[in-house]
Chain A
Amino acid sequence: MTRASVKQVWDWLDAVPDPEIPVISVVDLGIVRDIEWDSDTLTVTVTPTYSGCPATSVISWDIETALRNHGIKDIRLQTRISPAWTTDWLSDKGRAKLEEFGIAPPQPAGGPERCPRCGSKAVEKVSQFGSTPCKAHWRCTGCLEPFDYFKCI
């Protein structure tokens, strides 16, 4: 069997959704750091988002399943913690999809640029923690709707 190209594998993984925020892929999230063939073994290097994030093991499982479904038999998943994952690695496509989904994308300023629903810049923090480790809880004082903000780390 001919080996799939590395570019092809990246495309396949770009179709694997994040289990908690399914509108973005694991590639959009920036956690897939490296894909490499070593003779017939495919090594995928993953950098976890938050050290205790329960989605991490599900993500590894999903990556492996997707690759098997594409006919790759010999897969090695390795975890790399340094350099630490940063929200700078989110793709532009991922950022746009997050906002469209109602989650404000991370900003270096430390808070959302605008309400993902109405676009108002009048927003305030409710809590540094939201429904998952990667999100904080904010509220729009324009449309009065609460929303998630993807923390910038």
Chain B
Amino acid sequence: MTREDAFLQFLLRMGDNTLILGHRVSEWCGHAPVLEEDIALANTALDLIGQTQMWLGLAGEIEGAKSADDLAFLRDAWDFRNVLLVEVPNGDFGRTLMRQFLFDAWHSIMLGRLMTSSDERVAAIAEKASKEVSYHLERSGDTVVGLGDGTEESHARMQEALDYLWPYVGEMFAGDAVDAEMAAAGIAPDPAGLREEYDALVGRVLGEATLTIPESRFAHKGGRDGRMHTEHLGHLLTSMQWLQRAYPGASW
């Protein structure tokens, strides 16, 4: 694998994570339990889609004469490089916010490291995105604490959400040849090196939320290398891509 191939894979991983999560979160628009949460979810989705334009925009340049839209709307499921965590269905409001928290915690640590990337384009995107992710994390963490340490019903639902989502956490830290190449070039950190900080942050918040982290470290994998996505991704793409597939080149 050349360094350029690895760089492209790295950019797709970053951009596909924010694209797929952004789309998932946008599914809440008009359906959240209260107006403030509806607005908060829509704004979070908007930030993530904005970050996607930067990551996939750069990926398209590297790949050659492709736009962020081409990459978002014209690739098939097996070409996506997002972690499985972000493609799982929203479930209830609690599960959506738990997934957000588990992702935001990783995202904030990752972007912090990328701000000192040897590639200045990567560092610039990370600097911009990290400002937004810091308040995403503050909100998702607060909500996880509020609901976890809430009523008997909300506590039970948050524990159920954590039990369901925890097996998807490990994939964010599983490195491969792409990561080794990026780390050697000083472009991105080895994902395994983020785990300690992640466990400390997540452990503190989930403790405050009176929730119990499952003991098993089993991890579902196959998203970030595209080997095997869940069956949910294809369904998401049919909804997200149908307009460009049915009316190629349509714009307004």
Residues of A within 8 A of B (CB): 50-54, 81-86, 126-131, 133, 137, 151, 153
Q: Does B51 lie within 8 Å of A52, measured CB to CB?
A: yes
Q: Give me 8 other A-B pairs in contact (C-beta within 8 A), A52-B46, A52-B50, A82-B127 excluded.
A: A51-B51, A52-B49, A53-B46, A81-B125, A81-B128, A127-B39, A129-B40, A133-B47
Instruction: Give every chain B residue within 8 A of A52 (Cβ-Cβ).
Output: 46-51, 53
Q: Does A131 lie within 8 Å of B50, measured CB to CB?
A: no
Q: Does A50 lie within 8 Å of B47, measured CB to CB?
A: yes
Known: A51-B51, A128-B138. A81 touches B124 (CB 8 A): yes
Interface: B43 (CB within 8 A): yes
Interface: B36 (CB within 8 A): yes
Interface: B135 (CB within 8 A): yes
Q: Does A81 lie within 8 Å of B40, measured CB to CB?
A: no
Known: A51-B128, A153-B131. A129 touches B50 (CB 8 A): no
With both chains docked as a complex, state the minimum distance between the C-beta of B240 and any C-beta of chain A, in angstroms. 16
A153 to B43 alpha-carbon distance, docked (Å): 15
Binary CB contact string for chain B from 109 to 126 against chain A (1 if under 8 A, 0 otherwise)? 000000000001001110
With both chains docked as a complex, state the minimum distance between the C-beta of A52 and any C-beta of chain B, in angstroms. 3
Q: Does B50 lie within 8 Å of A51, measured CB to CB?
A: yes
Instruction: Give every chain A residue within 8 A of B220 (Cβ-Cβ).
Output: none
Most chain A CB within a 10 A radius of its CB, from B36, B128, B132, B138? B128
Interface: B86 (CB within 8 A): no
Interface pairs (12), CB distance under 8 Å: A51-B50, A51-B128, A52-B51, A81-B127, A81-B128, A126-B36, A127-B37, A128-B40, A129-B39, A137-B39, A153-B131, A153-B135
Q: Does B138 lie within 8 Å of A84, measured CB to CB?
A: no
Number of A-B contacts (CB under 8 A): 65
With both chains docked as a complex, state the minimum distance between the C-beta of A88 and any C-beta of chain B, in angstroms. 12
Instruction: Give every chain A residue within 8 A of B131 (Cβ-Cβ).
Output: 84, 86, 153
Interface: B182 (CB within 8 A): no
Known: A82-B124, A133-B46. A50 touches B39 (CB 8 A): no
Most chain B CB within a 10 A radius of its CB, from A82, A83, A137? A82
Known: A50-B50, A51-B51, A133-B46. A128 touches B128 (CB 8 A): no
Partner of A81, one of B43, B54, B132, B135: B54
In the complex, the chain A residue whose C-beta lies closest to that of B53 is A51
Instruction: Give every chain B residue within 8 A of A127 (Cβ-Cβ).
Output: 36-37, 39-40
Instruction: Give every chain A residue within 8 A of B47 (Cβ-Cβ).
Output: 50-52, 133
A137 to B35 alpha-carbon distance, docked (Å): 12
Closest 3 CB pairs of A and B: A52-B50, A51-B50, A82-B124
Most chain B CB within a 10 A radius of its CB, from A86, A129, A130? A129
Instruction: Give every chain B residue within 8 A of A50 (Cβ-Cβ).
Output: 46-47, 50, 132
A82 to B128 alpha-carbon distance, docked (Å): 7
In the complex, the chain B residue whose C-beta lies closest to that of A131 is B39
Interface: B195 (CB within 8 A): no
Instruction: Give every chain B residue within 8 A of A86 (Cβ-Cβ).
Output: 131
Known: A51-B54, A52-B46. A130 touches B39 (CB 8 A): yes
A28 to B40 alpha-carbon distance, docked (Å): 26
Instruction: Give every chain B residue within 8 A of A83 (Cβ-Cβ).
Output: 127
Instruction: Give every chain A residue within 8 A of B129 (Cβ-Cβ).
Output: 51
